[in-house]
């Protein structure tokens, strides 16, 4: 009988010695049943080398939890114990969940307003670059990072990873029955470090950009990999599951495969972390019950309200194009256009993701390898985040009766974005006033309050330049 204390939504870990002979990854089953009153969670355990087996739990209720282990090997079967889950510390808000159909909140109710970025292969670059990435993130507004489990083979990303997910022989052949433990320990440490920065880890489980065979593994290997990854990572509160980056480019996988992968995650993750899948050309059916939110690649951010209506789930345009100067059309947006797309996605009731692709003499582009940022959009995105954090806790919903690019909460709060348009005046219908109005310059990052209150039919003066927004709040 073991006894421990663990904070709510942190990781409780039980380690046991068991069989090392044969292939413990495939021969041994190991799980546990954790109970708190009528709450029962049954996470899978995993083999972590040298005869050591671990099982992790993210307790989500304060109080005394008990457990009993289950295994097909007697050394691992029938171990019992208990631990006390204490209240969460002030900075620990728990995992992110869907709230109010189209929005998100942490488990403790704190609003979560997604401001994400993408560094697909940052965990495969070695400690120097990876530590630079973490240092850069400390001074950004980003609260979600899209990142791949498997290494990536693509333009500006031709280097070999430091670690591989499977054991390899001297000829570079993968043993798809044995996981490389250094790889997974390294990966989960990076997930922990993101959590320490308050950043969600949007973990991309498959992708098509591959030269090692990871995109075309047999079905039984795919399934084993998913179960092992969930067993190791699900207990971290900042985990999100993205089934794929550009799933529709993975020709070796069928729609039935993607459905099966979703069900494996859904069945094996005791905490039901958020689940999505990212497209290139063709959307997956986000109406399927195992999809918690839409992860979209699209350049037209005015479509967000339509996707909300179609799927009745939160919409994150994780890839709307990248600020940069590479030759690919998706990677040479101006900073101004990146910021405009963030604002458009926001006022149509969704959330947007950032990326950066400036040419670098050593091919160190943020979107793939991380390291440092060079563009101008990030402080403006931080400015948008600050405005959202001052706004309604229930999130922004489209308000096209006020203006085509507007969102808010009826009778309480409105946010209008003019983008490329540059009106010098605007007539607004504002029933239920009076209201305070601020003129926001989204590029210069200024907020100018108008001096009087407004109600009913009101005309306001505007700067007559692009990139202006108007914030209207009940006085």
Q: Which residues make Cβ contacts (< 8 Å) with residue 449, sequence separation at least 6?
A: 436, 437, 438, 439
Report the length, in residues, of the chain: 475
Residue 308 has pLDDT above 60, yes or no: yes
Here the CATH number for the domain that contains residue 425 is 2.60.40.3950
Q: Which two tokens stand for residue 297?
A: 């690649």
pLDDT digits (tens, 9 = 90+) for 222-252: 999 999 999 999 999 999 999 999 999 999 9
**DSSP character for 423?**
-
pLDDT digits (tens, 9 = 90+) for 151-202: 999 999 999 999 999 999 999 999 999 999 999 999 999 999 999 999 999 9
Q: Looking at the domain assignment, is residue 106 inside a domain?
A: yes
Q: How many domains does the chain have?
A: 3
Here the CATH number for the domain that contains residue 60 is 2.60.40.10
Q: Looking at the domain assignment, is residue 394 inside a domain?
A: no
Distance CA 358, CA 373 (A): 9
Q: Looking at the domain assignment, is residue 328 inside a domain?
A: yes
48 and 179, same domain (yes or no): no
78 and 102, same domain (yes or no): no
159 and 267, same domain (yes or no): yes
Pick from 130, 159, 117: nearest CA to 342: 117
**Domain span including residue 167:** 96-389
**Higher model confidence: residue 68 or residue 432?**
68
pLDDT computed for residue 431 by the predictor: 87
- Given a contact cutoff of 8 angstroms between Cβ atoms, the answer to whether 261 and 224 are in contact is no
The residue-averaged pLDDT of 206-218 equals 98
Q: Which residues make Cβ contacts (< 8 Å) with residue 206, sequence separation at least 6?
A: 150, 214, 215, 222, 243, 244, 245, 247, 250, 253, 261
Q: Residues of the chain with pLDDT > 70: what percent?
A: 99
Q: Looking at the domain assignment, is residue 343 inside a domain?
A: yes
The domain boundary, picked from 86, 119, 143, lies at 86
202 and 326, same domain (yes or no): yes
412 and 368, same domain (yes or no): no
Distance CA 418, CA 340 (A): 9
Pick from 201, 225, 206, 211: nearest CA to 161: 211
Nearest 5 degrees, angle CA 62-CA 272-CA 210?
A: 135
The domain boundary, picked from 389, 414, 440, lies at 389
Q: Which two tokens stand for residue 60?
A: 């989500």
Residue 116 phi/psi, 5-degree rounding, is: -100, 170
Q: Which two tokens stand for residue 386?
A: 């600050």
294 and 420, same domain (yes or no): no
35 and 153, same domain (yes or no): no
pLDDT digits (tens, 9 = 90+) for 359-406: 999 999 999 999 999 999 999 999 999 999 999 999 999 998 889 999
Here the CATH number for the domain that contains residue 292 is 3.20.20.80
The residue-averaged pLDDT of 122-129 equals 98
Residue 209 has pLDDT above 80, yes or no: yes
Q: In Å, how far are 35, 118, 274, 294, 311 from 277, measured between CA atoms?
A: 32, 15, 11, 7, 14
Distance CA 324, CA 334 (A): 7
pLDDT computed for residue 287 by the predictor: 98
Q: Looking at the domain assignment, is residue 54 inside a domain?
A: yes
Number of other residues whose CB lies within 10 A of the CB of residue 453: 13
Straight-line distance from the first to the last Cα atom of the chain, in angstroms, rounded to the nearest whole number: 60
Could you give the 3-state DSSP secondary structure of residue 460? strand
Sign of CA dihedral 349, 366, 298, 203: negative
Confidence class for position 1, pLDDT limits 50, 70, 90: very low
Pick from 434, 466, 468, 429: nearest CA to 451: 434
Distance CA 349, CA 101 (A): 11
pLDDT computed for residue 3 by the predictor: 59
342 and 463, same domain (yes or no): no
Q: Looking at the domain assignment, is residue 455 inside a domain?
A: yes
The domain boundary, picked from 389, 423, 440, lies at 389
Residue 81 has pLDDT above 60, yes or no: yes
72 and 101, same domain (yes or no): no
407 and 456, same domain (yes or no): yes
- Given a contact cutoff of 8 angstroms between Cβ atoms, the answer to whether 97 and 107 are in contact is yes
Q: Looking at the domain assignment, is residue 395 inside a domain?
A: no
Q: Looking at the domain assignment, is residue 91 inside a domain?
A: no
- pTM given for the model: 0.97
316 and 455, same domain (yes or no): no
State the average pLDDT for the chain. 97
pLDDT digits (tens, 9 = 90+) for 244-295: 999 999 999 999 999 999 999 999 999 999 999 999 999 999 999 999 999 9
Distance CA 242, CA 261 (A): 11
Sign of CA dihedral 411, 413, 415, 416: positive
Q: Which residues make Cβ contacts (< 8 Å) with residue 184, sequence separation at least 6?
A: 165, 228, 229, 232
81 and 101, same domain (yes or no): no
Beta strands in 362-450 (DSSP E): 397-398, 406-409, 413-417, 425-441, 446-449
């Amino acid at each position: 009988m073991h006894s421990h204390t663990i904070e709510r939504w942190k990781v409780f870990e039980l380690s046991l010695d068991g069989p090392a002979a044969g292939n413990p990854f495939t021969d041994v089953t190991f799980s546990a049943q954790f109970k708190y009153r009528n709450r029962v969670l049954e996470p899978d355990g995993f083999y972590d080398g040298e005869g050591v087996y671990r099982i992790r739990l993210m307790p989500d209720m304060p109080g005394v939890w008990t457990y009993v282990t289950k295994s097909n090997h007697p050394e691992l079967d029938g171990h019992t114990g208990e631990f006390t889950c204490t209240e969460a510390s002030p900075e620990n808000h728990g995992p992110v969940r869907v709230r109010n159909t189209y929005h998100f909140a942490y488990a403790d109710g704190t609003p979560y307003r997604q401001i994400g970025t993408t560094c697909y292969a940052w965990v495969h670059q070695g400690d120097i670059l990876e530590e630079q990435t973490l240092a850069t993130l400390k001074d950004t507004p980003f609260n979600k990072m899209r990142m791949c489990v498997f290494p990536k083979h693509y333009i500006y990303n031709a280097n070999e990873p430091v670690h591989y997910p499977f054991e390899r022989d001297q000829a570079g052949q993968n043993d798809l029955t044995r996981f490389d433990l250094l790889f997974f320990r390294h990966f989960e440490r990076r997930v922990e470090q993101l959590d320490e920065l308050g950043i969600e880890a949007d973990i991309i489980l498959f992708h098509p950009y591959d030269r090692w065979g990871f995109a075309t593994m047999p079905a039984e290997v795919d399934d084993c990999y998913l179960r092992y990854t969930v067993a190791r990572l699900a207990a971290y509160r900042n985990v999100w599951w993205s089934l794929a980056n550009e799933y529709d480019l993975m020709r070796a996988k069928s729609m039935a495969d993607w459905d099966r992968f979703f069900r494996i995650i859904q069945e094996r993750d005791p905490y039901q972390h958020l689940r999505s899948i990212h497209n290139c050309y063709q959307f997956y059916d986000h109406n399927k019950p195992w999809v918690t939110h839409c992860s979209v690649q699209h350049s037209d951010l005015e479509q967000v309200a339509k996707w909300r209506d179609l799927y009745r789930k939160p919409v994150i345009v994780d890839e709307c194009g990248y600020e940069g100067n590479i030759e690919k059309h998706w990677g040479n947006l101006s900073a101004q256009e990146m910021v405009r797309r963030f604002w458009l996605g926001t006022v149509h009731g969704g959330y947007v993701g950032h990326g950066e692709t400036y040419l670098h003499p050593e091919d160190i582009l943020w979107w793939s390898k991380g390291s440092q940022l060079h563009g101008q959009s990030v402080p403006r995105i931080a400015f948008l985040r600050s405005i959202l954090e001052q706004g309604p806790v229930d999130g922004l919903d489209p308000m096209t009766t006020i203006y085509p690019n507007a969102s808010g909460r009826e009778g309480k709060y409105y946010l209008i974005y003019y983008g490329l348009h540059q009106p010098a005046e605007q007539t607004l219908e504002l029933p239920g006033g009076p209201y305070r109005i601020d003129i926001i310059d989204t590029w210069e990052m200024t907020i100018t309050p108008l001096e009087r209150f407004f109600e009913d039919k009101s005309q306001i003066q505007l700067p007559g330049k692009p990139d202006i927004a108007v914030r209207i709040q009940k006085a």
